[in-house]
A and B are shown apart, each in its own frame.
Chain A
Amino acid sequence: MLGYIDKIKEISERLLSENKVDMIIGFKKGTLPMTNEPFAAKKPADVKEFVWDSNCGINLTNYLTNRKERIGIIAKGCDTRNIVTHIIENQIDREQLTIIGVPCKGMIDRCKVDKMFDKCISEIAENDGKITVKGKGFEKTVDKIDLLQENCKVCGHRNPVIYDELVADLVNEQENLDRYADVMEIEAMSSENKQNYFNDLLSSCIRCYACRNACPLCYCPTCFVDESKPQWVGKGDNPTDIMTFHFLRAYHCAGRCTDCGSCVRACPMGIDLRVINKKLEKDCFDLYGWEAGLSLDKRPPLDTFKPDDPDDFIK
């Protein structure tokens, strides 16, 4: 994965100097270790800022909504699935985009790294599936596989689903995944245990809406939680309001969520928000055989009507 960067720079420089695109969205090094940040290169000279390693988890599709420019975007498997969703939902035109596909081997979860050490981390390096973490007076090498984000562990679409350029050969997809083990665990609980589980899960939520802001699906000009006429949901820290926000947001993402993990990554309180969205992802898969963002030609299940749609819940 480390070797990708030369190819990314080469492709980006070519696209910009041939004036094929107005900008290229990628990553540059962040101010702290493990916090690579989005960066738009507008001139061939900007390209040298680009980086690519296992800390490029942010879903860049978020920056495409309603753009008018011709954009090149560096996209992992999950990013391309969200780009497909964006195109289907008319948030951007396919013709505007030059997708630079990056076959992905998973991103690392910086919370996991932080938890391993009680001291400040000053440097992180990776080499051949190993991550070396350095700080003042310590250095430790860990297998990358132990630090992967939970969503990357169960990712079945590491390769880009659409692309114009490819930075490397496609990687092998993970097989025999048990994608919904955590959802099934909750499904098996009694109602009371479910209540306790979700009360506990969301008890630390501070309603900062970082999850919503990081999510490429949440592009509504005014979100339902920000509306005041009518006010759909209370704005305080009442547990019922918090829960209402989270389950309504999950409904809005039903059949669209690609399990990119943006919400979890953005959460400052470390809440595992994926368990909420994944239930609807699983339902869409079970009921309609649908996985979001795989094809430009298929309409999403909540957007179509078929006479044989399951309707057992209507009595």
Chain B
Amino acid sequence: MEHFGVEPGRIHFSWISSAEATKFVEVVGKVTKAVKALGPNQHFVKNRAKVA
């Protein structure tokens, strides 16, 4: 995906067991922070067709 021009930091992979609630919270926090820092995605966006 990064090769196609999606910025590094927009895609995250993690392995979290259903028993690892704290890790889940941590990862979600990190991901949202990183993605917010990059701002709204401009690439790979499909806009809804505009109907008059």
A: residues with CB less than 8 A from B are: 186-187, 191-198, 234, 238, 240-241, 243-244, 247, 279, 313-315
User: In the complex, A243 Cα to B43 Cα: how many Å?
Assistant: 11
B8 touches A191 (CB 8 A): yes
B6 within 8 A of partner (CB): yes
Count of chain A to chain B residue pairs whose CB atoms are closer than 8 Å in the complex: 42
A247 touches B45 (CB 8 A): no
Contacts of B27 in A (CB 8 A): 315
From A194, A234, A279, give the contact of B46 (CB < 8 A).
A234
In this complex, the interface size class of chain B, counting residues with CB under 8 Å from chain A, is 10 to 19
Contacts of A314 in B (CB 8 A): 13-15
Task: Assess A241 versus B5: contact at CB under 8 Å? Given A314-B13, A315-B12.
Answer: no
B3 touches A279 (CB 8 A): yes
A315 touches B43 (CB 8 A): no
Cβ-closest chain A residue relative to B31: A315
B8 touches A313 (CB 8 A): no
B2 within 8 A of partner (CB): yes
Task: Assess A238 versus B46: contact at CB under 8 Å? Given A191-B7, A315-B13, A315-B14.
Answer: yes
Cβ-closest chain B residue relative to A282: B3
User: In the complex, A195 Cα to B8 Cα: how many Å?
Assistant: 13
Mask: chain B, 13-49; 1 = CB below 8 Å from A; 0 = not:
1110000000000010010000000000001111000
User: In the complex, A180 Cα to B12 Cα: how many Å?
Assistant: 26
User: In the complex, A192 Cα to B46 Cα: how many Å?
Assistant: 18
Additional pairs, 12, CB under 8 Å, beyond known A241-B46, A244-B44: A191-B6, A191-B8, A191-B43, A194-B2, A194-B4, A198-B5, A243-B4, A247-B1, A279-B3, A314-B14, A315-B13, A315-B30
User: In the complex, A175 Cα to B42 Cα: how many Å?
Assistant: 43
User: In the complex, A304 Cα to B52 Cα: how many Å?
Assistant: 52
A187 touches B3 (CB 8 A): yes
From A192, A234, A244, A315, give the contact of B5 (CB < 8 A).
A192
**Smallest CB–CB gap between A254 and chain B, Å?**
12
Contacts of A247 in B (CB 8 A): 1, 4
Contacts of B2 in A (CB 8 A): 191, 194
**Smallest CB–CB gap between B34 and chain A, Å?**
10
Contacts of B1 in A (CB 8 A): 247
B3 touches A195 (CB 8 A): no
Cβ-closest chain A residue relative to B14: A315
A191 touches B13 (CB 8 A): no
Enumerate 16 A-B pairs (CB-CB under 8 Å) in ascending A order.
A187-B3, A191-B2, A191-B5, A191-B8, A192-B5, A193-B5, A194-B3, A195-B4, A195-B43, A196-B5, A198-B5, A234-B46, A240-B45, A314-B13, A315-B27, A315-B30
**Smallest CB–CB gap between B37 and chain A, Å?**
14
User: In the complex, A186 Cα to B4 Cα: how many Å?
Assistant: 9
Which of B27, B43, B44 has the largest number of chain A CB atoms within 10 A? B43
Cβ-closest chain A residue relative to B6: A191
